Amino acid sequence: MLTSDYVPGDSAVHRARPLIKVGLLFVFCTWLFLQEGWLSLSVAGMALAALLAVARIPPRMVFAAVRPALWVLGLIFLAQLFLADWRFAGFVVLRFAVMILAASLLTLTTRTSDLVEAIEGALSQFLPQRSAEAISLALSLCLRFIPRVRDIFDEVKNAQRARGLGTSWRALVTPTIVRALKSADEIARAIVARSPGPADGPAMPDGRHVR
């Protein structure tokens, strides 16, 4: 579940700094909207095709990147067919496809960890160190919580089944959330108990004490 679609490689696209790629993607998409027309779209499409070739992205991955948006794009095509003509409908849908592929190129050639690190690095330039540390803590805690929440959910589901209750949404979500909140407070207490620096007392904000 936590694996991205990274395609390993050593091309210029892979080696470019993550934030430069994010910046270029932003410029690329803005330009597509400012310079609306077949000419700019074909230039953008060719540039994108060249970059995909340089990065050696297999065609299978190129198709996989657009596939989730296909049915919405189909609907938009039909809508534009009614509102305008087939040429404009094709233009709008192709522009979406080019933008989606450009963004996928970033994801396919950048490791998630590198991108997260780059975002953290950029934020720490503008934010005080404590906030930057808080952001790194939140990111790593979240990844740590995903399997934990899934375990809690499975436990709740099995417990409900053992008691003969059906799988109603409400019967599953509420106990899962309450148990997850308790588990989160335990982790918060553990972090506070282990962290150095000026402590403001052993009590948690809810008034309970560290066990």
Partner 1 sequence: MTNEKTRDIVLIALFAAIMAVLGVFPPITLPLVGVPITAQSLGVMLAGGILGARRGALAMVLFLVLVAAGLPLLSGGRGGFAVFLGPSGGFLVGWIVAAFVVGLMVERFWPRLGHVNAFAACVFGGIVVLYAIGIPWIAFAAEISIAQAFVGSMPFVPGDVIKAVIAATVIVTVARSYPVIVSR
Q: In the window 91-120, what residues touch partner 1 (CB under 8 A)?
A: 92, 95-96, 99-104, 106-107, 110-112, 115-116, 119
Does the footprint of partner 1 cover residue 61 (CB under 8 A)? no
Does the footprint of partner 1 cover residue 145 (CB under 8 A)? yes
Does the footprint of partner 1 cover residue 201 (CB under 8 A)? yes
Pick the binder of partner 1 from 15, 60, 87, 130 (CB under 8 A).
130
Residue 136 Cβ vs partner 1, minimum distance, rounded to whole Å: 10
- Structure-block tokens of residue 48: 């994108």
Does the footprint of partner 1 cover residue 181 (CB under 8 A)? yes
Using CA of residue 77, residue 81, residue 84, residue 85, what is the dihedral sign?
Answer: positive
Q: Quote the CA–CA distance of 104 and 57 in Å, as a whole number.
A: 10
For residue 208, is it left (φ>0), alpha (ψ between -120 and 50) or beta? beta
**Residue with tokens 């089944």, as numbered in its chain:** 161
Residue 196 Cβ vs partner 1, minimum distance, rounded to whole Å: 10
Q: 54 or 141, CB closer to partner 1?
A: 141
Does the footprint of partner 1 cover residue 1 (CB under 8 A)? yes
Q: Quote the CA–CA distance of 27 and 158 in Å, as a whole number.
A: 50
Could you give the count of Cα atoms lying within 13 Å of 133 in the half-sphere of its Cβ?
Answer: 4
Does the footprint of partner 1 cover residue 80 (CB under 8 A)? yes
- Contact segment (CB under 8 A) with partner 1 among 43-51, 53-61, 157-165, 194-202 equals 194-202
Q: Please tell me whether residue 203 adopts helix, strand or coil conformation.
A: strand
**Residue with tokens 């930057």, as numbered in its chain:** 132
